[in-house]
Structure 1
């Protein structure tokens, strides 16, 4: 009788262990959806208001506590993401696809996975804090942007702190910001 009970107990343990192995495959992490930018949101890096400024914005959703950090520009998002304590973490990052929205006021419906985006560094368009990285879902759109506004195309893993610190050569940042704001005004007047 004890042998039968012991066998059933061992069978139960084996079934429990095997069913636990199956659950491990089912517990894959689901990527959180992007969070809309709201009036009054402030940049996690510089503390500046996010709304009302041109250019792509960014956001990070931390992997463990799912806390949302919003950034007034892609440049500030990269400044945060490239810090040693964040670099190797699997945070979910979003940026605006600038081929799908206006430079003057990017729409949240155009948020894309930042790790899959193509970036243009060194263009003549300004973001909230001056020079920024234009972000695109497709290389063709980034290439077209480079033809119109200059700059260099990079993929997410290729962006470094040196790219963020690169100054706009051959032009005054104030002049470029004014020109970018003029472009932004014209974009917002487009009936598209």
Structure 2
């Protein structure tokens, strides 16, 4: 009987090693990519405007399969792209600026946060690249503080719809200072 038990021991050890290897691969695959710095010449994926020439929060999407980075001059443009039927159900990695941690006129990329965990203020008096924008914040309390000063409505990522993006764009001011 002892020789039979010893023959199963190596197979059992191999199976344990296999399971450990599989779990490590799952953890590696689940890691999300880090945000990418927005360079001075980068153009918005939706409108083609130079991203850094405009105030307000920006956005970026890193596609799930190809790991392609798409950058946006405003959170409004990022949501316009994300809410398209071909993108809405994908698990892309999304980043936006935490505007409680950076300047409105020139957001710093060290303040990029997970867009799905952020809170947004829609309809405020603050303008971004595309006129009214969705001001993004890491906490609901920071979003509410911003709303008290500039107006608007606080929303979670899941609550944003195309209707929140359908504000008029002041075309006369869009290309000022270019």
1:2-151 map, 5 Å: 8=7, 14-27=12-25, 28=27, 29-151=30-152
What are the superposed Cα offsets for residues 84-136 of structure 1, whole Å, 9 maximum, x if unpaired? 22212211110001111111111111111111100000111111011110000
1:110 and 1:143, CA in 2 relative to 1: closer, same or farther beyond 3 A?
Answer: same
Please name the residue that 1:190 is paired with: none
Gaps of at least 5 residues in structure 1 are 182-192
Separation (CA, whole Å) in 2 of partners of 1:35 and 1:87: 21
Moved runs in structure 1, 4+ residues, more than 6 A? none
Please name the residue that 1:189 is paired with: none
CA-atom RMSD in angstroms: 2.3
Q: TM-score normalised to the size of structure 1?
A: 0.79
Please name the residue that 1:187 is paired with: none
SS at match of 1:24: helix
Shift of 1:19: 2.4
Gaps of at least 5 residues in structure 2 are none
Separation (CA, whole Å) in 1 of partners of 2:63 and 2:12: 37
Q: How many residue pairs are counted as aligned between the two chains?
A: 169
Separation (CA, whole Å) in 2 of partners of 1:15 and 1:79: 52
Shift of 1:54: 0.6
- Bigger drift between 122-131 and 19-28 goes to 19-28
SS at match of 1:85: coil
Shift of 1:15: 4.0
SS at match of 1:35: coil
What are the superposed Cα offsets for residues 162-189 of structure 1, whole Å, 9 maximum, x if unpaired? 1111x36xxxx549x69xx9xxxxxxxx
